[in-house]
Amino acid sequence: MRVLYFAWVKSKVGIGEEQVEPPAGVGTVGALLDWLSDRSPKHAAALANRSVVRIAVNQEYVGADHPVKPGDEVALFPPVTGG
């Protein structure tokens, strides 16, 4: 599974993307965020306030209960500020 980080989520995690293989029990975006938070203090800090982290799975906006599976592209980022 490919996880991408953007904007201040990327700054806080310290990397723009990583390849991860969460255990089979991690079946939703919410569970994935919990699992990612345990990877390092930086991950934990970046994902501490879930209300300001937007999630896209395979380039579509989703909520925390959306399923994730091996091979998915998951992106985590703050609310967008383009235009």
Partner 1 sequence: MIRVQREDFDLGAEVVALTQGRTDIGGVASFIGLVRDVAGGESVGAMTLEHYPGMTEKKLQEIDAEANRRWPLSASLIIHRFGRLEPGDRIVLVITASSHRQAALESCAFLIDWLKTKAPFWKQEETAAGPQWVEARESDDKAAERWVARPGGGE
Of 10 and 34, CB closest to partner 1: 10
Of the candidates 69, 65, 68, 57, the one whose C-alpha atom is nearest the C-alpha of residue 77 is: 57
Of 34 and 73, CB closest to partner 1: 73
**By CB under 8 A, how many residues form the interface with partner 1?**
15
DSSP assignment string, the chain: -EEEE-HHHHHHHS-SEEE----TT--BHHHHHHHHHTT-HHHHHHTS-GGG-EEEETTEEE-TTSB--TT-EEEEEPPP---
Per-residue contact string for residues 35-74; x = within reach of partner 1 by CB under 8 A:
---------------------x--x---------------
Of 34 and 66, CB closest to partner 1: 66
Q: Where does this chain bind partner 1 (CB under 8 A)?
A: 4, 6-8, 11, 56, 59, 75, 77-83
